[in-house]
Amino acid sequence: MMSYHLVLELVLTRMQFLFSSDAAEELKAAISDKNHELILIRDFNLVDEIWGGSRPAPPKEPTRVHAIKYAGVDVASKLSFVRSQLDENGCDTVVISMLDEVAWLLNMRGSDVPHSPVFYSYLTVEMSTATLFVDSNKVSEEVLEHLKKAGVKLKSYEAILSDVERLAEKGAKLWLDSSSVNAAIVSVFRSGCDRYMRKRGKTGRQIGKEASSDDPTTKKRGVQNMELNGLYKASPVTLAKSVKNEAEIRGMKNSHLRDAAALAEFWCWIEEEVRNNVALTEVQVAENLLGFRRKQDGFIETSFDTISGYGANGAIIHYNPTPDSCSSVGSDNLFLLDSGAQYVDGTTDITRTVHFGEPSPRHKECFTRVLQGHIALDQAVFPERTPGFVLDVLARSSLWKIGLDYRHGTGHGVGAALNVHEGPQSISYRYGNLTALQKGMIVSNEPGYYEDDSFGIRIENLLLVKEVNLANSFGGISYLGFEKLTFVPIQRKLIDLPLLSPSEINWVNEYHEQVWEKVSPFLSGNPLNWLLVNTRPL
């Protein structure tokens, strides 16, 4: 029987930049199982042929300095930390390709990606130098001086491949996070390593020699693909960025209070509109919310597309209303609003579910079960080194008791004036993430319930991981808990009071007391009255 061997070409100049190295390796393995081969080419690009002259130009928006009063730590100190990690791991250079990591490390921000204050770039950090690969048209004199002060050089965005190749050819040992660095960079790195070894009269590769034997992240990523001069391991910036310093925490707290004021004004406005039978679509609601946020100091943009879902649309977890197909918001069903904002000093993400009329017993029971899960997670106390998945059951157990659940994670990491979703931490039923929650991390607390074709419920606050003082310290270790960052009322009429325990009732009352104390100074007139009514004790 004749056998056929199909060769599939992955065009380097576009597609290799869209696949991480790990994703490309998985694709190659899947294709090889079918007796096909995936090869990477550099000189021809089918995507460009399709675009022709109509390909949109790359973003040209300027970058900006993220002030030290918000960043908390200067660039030189952050680079020094990265270099200490290079030294500890026996590496010469690390390639940073995650845009939020570049922005955090250099105390810079941009606007190339909607909802995220980042800019297209790469960064290499060596023991004595650092190089930012970026379109120079985006770099003002102020930013240039900022980088020069930190000892960071500029090169064109496209020069990253040739620089990686050059480093590999001279035998430099590179640190590459294969879960994020793209296949193009790894491809030229491997080619450069091969040329380096040929020059030295060597053949083959030393498999796995350079991997850390006790690093679970390295093991997970497959040390069988290690080159002599490569270390494939999680970026040293990932964890450092997730643990917020005092200035970042202060900025997050301040931005959340201004955001809470905007939401109080919004909820006051929309309740009046619905009461007066004003026709409002889901899209119009989201647009008006944006208007209230824009009035707040330091507002930049939304942190994601607002999820504004009435009735059955609220049951679609990642619903995105459009003018042509959205519903009107009324008083006969639940309304779910998941939204957030980027401020100069922080990032917000909040979900509230409300009913503008009289909720049914089913609405109230499901809402209260979700609220109980939210409270249980908020009140959690746990030993250090606890990964987030261990806590996930707390948010679901009240729903499980009546046979309900939800199909998404309970919490994600949040950046400080950066991406609204960041790792490595999470709270989820997916137990593969072994990252421990640490003091200074920020996570969301967002259990929910979604009844198909009927309604959706989610209650979301952001939480800061903090150390708690306890009477005991078993094992001589620290114990951690959470501090609330979000201060917006939870609708009282949706709570089925007999379902709550006395301690849960106290939680709601204490939370609303905090909301009033913290947010009322930002309000006046009708919004202030609205806040007073909606923070009364149960």
Work out whether the CA dihedral 80, 84, 87, 91 comes out positive or negative: negative
Q: Return the C-alpha torsion angle 171, 177, 178, 182, nearest 10.
A: -90
Q: Sheet harboring 307-310: ordered strands across?
A: 307-310, 334-339, 350-355
Confidence check: pLDDT of 180 > 90? no
pLDDT of residue 44: 65
Structure confidence at residue 337 as a pLDDT band (50, 70, 90): very high
For the record, the structure tokens of 118 come out as 């980042």
pLDDT of residue 188: 85
Q: Which residues of 156-172 are buried (b: 16+ CB within 10 A; e: fewer)?
A: ebeebbebbbebbbeeb
Q: Which residues of 2-40 are buried (b: 16+ CB within 10 A; e: fewer)?
A: eeeeeeeebbbbebbeebbbbebbeebeebeeeeeebeb
pLDDT of residue 205: 45
In terms of pLDDT, which residue wins out, 48 or 148? 148
- For residue 77, how far is the Cα from the chain centroid? 24
Domain ranges across the chain:
10-54, 64-198+229-239, 243-535
Helices 361-378 + 502-519 axis angle, to 10? 80
Confidence check: pLDDT of 4 > 70? no
The residue whose two tokens read 């640490």 is 438
pLDDT of residue 467: 97
In the Cβ-directed half-sphere of 506, how many Cα atoms lie within 13 Å?
Answer: 5
3-state helix/strand/coil string of 324-339: CCCCECCCCCEEEEEE
Q: Picking from 85-94, 141-150, 192-201, 356-365, which range would have the lowest pLDDT averaged per residue?
A: 192-201
Nearest residue to 107 (alpha-carbon basis) of 299, 300, 344: 344
Confidence check: pLDDT of 218 > 60? no
User: Do 64-198+229-239 and 243-535 come out as alike in CATH topology?
Assistant: no
Q: Read off the pLDDT of each residue in 98-104 and give the average, rounded to a whole number.
A: 97
pLDDT of residue 107: 98
- The per-residue pLDDT for range 433-453, each reduced to its tens digit, is 999 999 999 999 999 999 999
For 246, list phi and psi in degrees, rounded to 5. Answer: -60, -40
pLDDT of residue 43: 62
pLDDT of residue 214: 40
Percent of the chain topping pLDDT 70: 89
Confidence check: pLDDT of 365 > 60? yes
Confidence check: pLDDT of 10 > 60? no
Element (H, E) at 352: strand 350-355
Q: Read off the pLDDT of each residue in 515-527 and give the average, rounded to a whole number.
A: 98
Confidence check: pLDDT of 427 > 70? yes
Distances in Å between the Cα of 328 and the Cα atoms of 50, 308, 322, 409 are 40, 10, 12, 29
pLDDT of residue 212: 41
Q: Read off the pLDDT of each residue in 396-420 and give the average, rounded to a whole number.
A: 98
Q: Picking from 20-24, 410-414, 447-451, which range would have the lowest pLDDT averaged per residue?
A: 20-24
Q: Read off the pLDDT of each residue in 457-470 and give the average, rounded to a whole number.
A: 97
Confidence check: pLDDT of 526 > 80? yes
pLDDT of residue 210: 42
Report how far residue 472's alpha carbon sits from residue 227's, in angstroms, rounded to the nearest whole number: 48
SS3 527: helix
pLDDT of residue 207: 35
The residue whose two tokens read 């939680």 is 507
- The per-residue pLDDT for range 251-276, each reduced to its tens digit, is 999 999 999 999 999 999 999 999 99
Report how far residue 350's alpha carbon sits from residue 98's, in angstroms, rounded to the nearest whole number: 25
Element (H, E) at 413: strand 411-413
pLDDT of residue 184: 83
In the Cβ-directed half-sphere of 183, how many Cα atoms lie within 13 Å?
Answer: 24
- Mean pLDDT, the chain, rounded, equals 90
Class (C level, CATH) for 64-198+229-239: alpha beta
Q: Picking from 28-37, 133-142, 252-261, 306-315, which range would have the lowest pLDDT averaged per residue?
A: 28-37
Contacts of residue 171, Cβ cutoff 8 Å, sequence gap at least 6:
196, 200, 229
Q: Contact 199/164 with Cβ under 8 angstroms?
A: no
For the record, the structure tokens of 330 come out as 């009324």
Which neighbouring-strand residues pair with 339? 350
Structure confidence at residue 185 as a pLDDT band (50, 70, 90): confident
Query: In terms of C-beta density within 10 A (0-12 exposed, 13-18 middle, 19 or more buried), how is residue 318 classed?
Result: exposed
Q: Which CATH number among 3.90.230.10, 1.10.287.890, 1.10.10.10, 3.40.50.11540 corresponds to the domain 243-535? A: 3.90.230.10
Contacts of residue 372, Cβ cutoff 8 Å, sequence gap at least 6:
398, 499, 500, 504
Q: Read off the pLDDT of each residue in 512-534 and give the average, rounded to a whole number.
A: 98
Confidence check: pLDDT of 298 > 50? yes
Confidence check: pLDDT of 114 > 60? yes
